Amino acid sequence: MDLANSTNLENARIDNDSMDLLITAFKLYEISKLDNNVYRKDEDLKIIRHLIKLYYKLVNPNYNNMIFNFRRRYVSNELLVEKNDTPEERRGLNLVYDYIQDFDIDHDDFNIFMTALQIHSLLYKPMDEKNASDVDERRERAKELEQEAKRDHDISKYKEAKRILSSIKFEKFGGQLRTESVVMHDFHTHIPDAKEARDIFNEFLTSEKREEFEKALANPDIFAYIDYAVNTTCDLIGIQPFGDGNKRVFRSLLNLMFKKRNLPPVYIKKKERKAYHDALEKALTTHDYRDLDGFYYYKICDSIYELDFKPFLDSLGQKGDEKVTVLG
């Protein structure tokens, strides 16, 4: 099987009984979601935590084996979560996931501040290139008008050329921190002014913040790291360091932070938008992250099933009849 279709289960060195146990456990999890039963009866997250622990105990997953399956679904879903779907935004998000897919967790330098800037720069690269192209076209048009004005002795063309040149203003947007106040229309939460947001974000360049991240990454408790990654990116969404695209940037950063710990990439389906926004709003307004952490535990488990188990079972001809549903 080629890399684009390979799964971690295919390469897992576990006995048949353990494999059967693992498959049965995740199949039951998926079936239990048909009436959202698992969500109502697992308020303390015991089921989901045990499933993730079992998977990581028996399987040594390779992130790249899942990201190929992930890329096919992710971009269209992510753009719909915040209702952003232009050709430039779609290309930008693909550039972001090229970067995440190619990121070498063993050798490439990772810093939350610098990596977020890089992601934002890539996200808006197509838009910046389009705007730069428009500027070049307008300058060329102004030059043509000036030449025509001289040839035809037409002062109106000369004035139009000057008007076009004076109206041209191009500033690169990608990778630039905001300098003005912003409002999050979805949430009633305090957003710091531009200077305060910049100061908070800049703290991630300090040795203390780097050590904080390295300590979380080295924590043997995988859920402690998940909580750290989720809570940190949530807080960064809350300060809105960029003029636009903060949620997309920090959800992408979260997936790269997950890659650092070999956790699967996750994506939010359109029907999960309300559940995600409710949990995010609670975290931003009350600093109670439990619902958001739990939401991502489920998303990790969903990704394990959809990106690893389902392709594996499909390859064996065990597609099953159960209907795949989403968080309510």
For residue 275, the domain's CATH number is 1.10.3290.10
User: Is 74 in the same domain as 197?
Assistant: yes
Instruction: Confirm whether 212 is domain-assigned.
Output: yes
Report the distance separating Cα 69 and Cα 307, nearest Å: 6
User: Is 43 in the same domain as 149?
Assistant: no
User: Is 143 in the same domain as 270?
Assistant: no
Instruction: Confirm whether 325 is domain-assigned.
Output: no
In the predicted structure, residue 319 carries a pLDDT above the cut 50? no
How big is the CA angle at 275 (ends 243 and 100), to the nearest 5 degrees? Answer: 50
User: Is 206 in the same domain as 247?
Assistant: yes
Q: Which residue has the higher pLDDT, 247 or 316?
A: 247
How much is the pTM?
0.85
In the predicted structure, residue 209 carries a pLDDT above the cut 70? yes
Q: Give the model confidence (pLDDT) of 73-101 as tens digits.
A: 665 556 555 566 678 888 898 899 889 98
Residue type, 308: D
Instruction: Give the number of other CB atoms < 10 A from CB of residue 226.
Output: 21
Q: What percent of the chain has pLDDT over 70?
A: 87
User: Is 151 in the same domain as 230?
Assistant: no
User: Is 114 in the same domain as 134?
Assistant: no
Q: Which residue has the higher pLDDT, 206 or 85?
A: 206
Instruction: Confirm whether 239 is domain-assigned.
Output: yes
Instruction: Confirm whether 328 is domain-assigned.
Output: no
User: Is 114 in the same domain as 225?
Assistant: yes
Give the closest residue to 95 by CA, choosing from 120, 128, 62.
Answer: 120
Residue type, 317: G
Least confident of 36-45, 48-57, 159-168: 36-45
User: Is 88 in the same domain as 150?
Assistant: no
φ/ψ of 170, rounded to 5, equals -120, 120
User: Is 148 in the same domain as 69?
Assistant: no
pLDDT for residue 5: 53
| Dihedral angle over CA of 215, 217, 220, 224, nearest 10 | 90
Instruction: Confirm whether 327 is domain-assigned.
Output: no
User: Is 162 in the same domain as 287?
Assistant: no
Residue listed under structure tokens 């910046």: 128
pLDDT for residue 83: 60
Instruction: Confirm whether 321 is domain-assigned.
Output: no
User: Is 188 in the same domain as 86?
Assistant: yes
Report the distance separating Cα 1 and Cα 3, nearest Å: 7
User: Is 161 in the same domain as 47?
Assistant: no
Report the distance separating Cα 205 and Cα 116, nearest Å: 12
Instruction: Give the number of other CB atoms < 10 A from CB of residue 99.
Output: 18
User: 310: domain range?
Assistant: 3-122+178-315
- 3-class secondary structure, 208: helix
> Which of 167, 192, 222 finishes a domain?
167
Query: What is the domain count for the chain?
Result: 2
Instruction: Confirm whether 322 is domain-assigned.
Output: no
Reading the block at residue 292, the tokens are 């958001």
Instruction: Confirm whether 34 is domain-assigned.
Output: yes
Distance in angstroms between the alpha carbons of the first and the last residue of the chain: 35
Q: Is 94 exposed, middle or buried (0-12, 13-18, 19+ CB in 10 A)?
A: middle
